[in-house]
Amino acid sequence: MAGTSGAGKTTLAARIAATLKIPHTEIDSLFHGPDWTPRPTFEADVHRVIAEPAWVVEWQYSSVRAHLAERADLLVWLDLPRAVVMRQIIRRTVIRRLSREQLWNGNVEAPLWTILTTKDHIVRWAWQTHGKSKAQVLALMRERPGLDVVRLRSRDETERWLRGPLRQVLR
């Protein structure tokens, strides 16, 4: 599941896993330890997950991205317009912060004002890395020409794919 932060990778990954009745592991839950520190077992945990015969996981974190791609049979790429992604990430961040939603290992979103002071704040990160996702996927497609890639450019396209071609996998 490829795409920039805020594109909806985790939500779509969970839906795909539920449809195919295979496990989904949210990669952020493996990466983030308490106080947003990287977990020392991250890479080993990812290798354990992808050693299974079937899995769905988000394609992120440079230290494991190649391993994920190596084991993948299909890459679903959420290639949404920047305006859509920004609307989604801002809404998600505000809701998580105001509700103090606990994320991975007890972490919560940083105060909203930190978007102005923290260069890698999730909203700023989504803006800055939006174009990188496309470059990474295109590079992977050159490296692994046999890898099936499904590129979804809108919510409507995503819904049609979930109702149609993805369901064909079940037959």
Assigned CATH for 9-168 = 3.40.50
CA nearest to 28, candidates 91, 87, 96: 96
pLDDT along the chain (171 residues), means of 10: 95 95 96 96 98 96 96 96 97 96 94 91 94 94 94 95 78 47
Separation in Å, CA 91 to CA 118, 129, 165: 18, 18, 30
Taking only Cα atoms into account, the Rg of the chain, rounded to an integer number of angstroms, comes to: 16
Give me the residue spans of the domains in the chain. 9-168
For residues 58 and 27, the answer to whether their CB atoms sit within 8 Å is yes
Query: Taking the model in full, what pTM does it have?
Result: 0.91
The burial of 156, by beta-carbon neighbours within 10 Å (0-12 exposed, 13-18 middle, 19 or more buried), is given as: exposed
Tens digit of pLDDT for each residue in 26-71? 999 999 999 999 999 999 999 999 999 999 999 999 999 999 999 9
